[in-house]
Amino acid sequence: MTTPDQALASTVGRLRLERGMTQEALAFKADVAVATLRRIERGRSNPKWPTLVKIANALQITPSELLAAREGVSESRSKRT
């Protein structure tokens, strides 16, 4: 079963790559530390709302879209098992 942190990690990484961004570029654009973004993408961080908002804005989506995408990843993976 995919945890919410793992689903968020997958979503942020996928959206970042779809936009052709490096972790460093996204971290800079979102005004978060590169180490923070790396922890999020590894599923080792449960970011607070302001951090999610910054990342969503940097990815040019709404925070709701980011969370909905995360939920979609979590649901699709749990259906496979």
Q: What is the count of structural domains for the chain?
A: 1
| pLDDT score, position 28 | 98
For 54, phi then psi, to 5°, come to -60, -45
pTM as predicted: 0.82
Q: What is the CATH number of the domain that holds 9?
A: 1.10.260.40
Given this model, what pLDDT does residue 30 score? 98
- DSSP-assigned letters across all residues of 11-80: HHHHHHHHTT--HHHHHHHHT--HHHHHHHHTT-----HHHHHHHHHHTTS-HHHHHHHHHHHHHHHHHH
Query: What angle (nearest 5°) sits at the alpha carbon of residue 4, between those of residues 40 and 44?
Result: 30
Q: What is the pLDDT of residues 35-80, one digit of tens each?
A: 999 999 999 988 999 999 999 999 999 999 888 877 765 444 444 4
Q: Which domain holds residue 65?
A: 4-80
pLDDT digit string, tens, across residues 2-18: 777 888 899 999 999 99
